[in-house]
Amino acid sequence: MKATRTHTFIDSPIGPLTSVQTDGALSGLYLAEHRHRPDPATFGLRTDCGFEQIREQLDEYFAGERTEFTVPLTLVGTEFQRSVWAALRAIDYGATCTYAELAVEIGRPTAIRAVAAANGRNPVSIVVPCHRVIGSDGTLTGYAGGLERKRFLLDRESRTVHAPA
């Protein structure tokens, strides 16, 4: 049985996001000018139906009210990529780690470049927080949606975490 894919567009403070679902689970969240973005012809029919949960959770995230996403995910990739994406989901909101630390976390300490490549191929930006990975020297490096968006997301999370109670 062939999977049913649909997509919609969601406005955000970092520009329009393309949200893709496969059989009702989020399988893609792409920023404008997203590097490694699949051919939009593979996104299925455009509809606003069924995207209420991701739209609401993104609104809450950008408002500083949500630190973790709970939408169901379908992540298609190699076993290695999926292990990297699972490790990304374990990075705390407002925190960062390096590609080297992520490689150690998945038990592949010498696979730093492969970890970086898998990070760059993350199909569900923001929800699977690849923006929380930085260079070993603490600099912002590589982000499929551009470094300005990465900086915005990290600043947004930092302000929420460090806001006075």
Active-site positions read: 130
Tokens 């080297």 sit on residue: 100
| Nearest one of 162, 145, 163, 158 to 13, comparing CA atoms | 145
Q: How far apart are CA 113 and CA 100, in angstroms?
A: 9
For CA atoms 59, 61, 65, 66, the dihedral sign is positive
Tokens 């070993």 sit on residue: 136
- CB atoms inside a 10 Å sphere around CB 154: 19
- Chain CA centroid to CA 6, Å: 18
- CB atoms inside a 10 Å sphere around CB 42: 10
Helices 79-89, 112-120: axis angle to 10 degrees equals 80
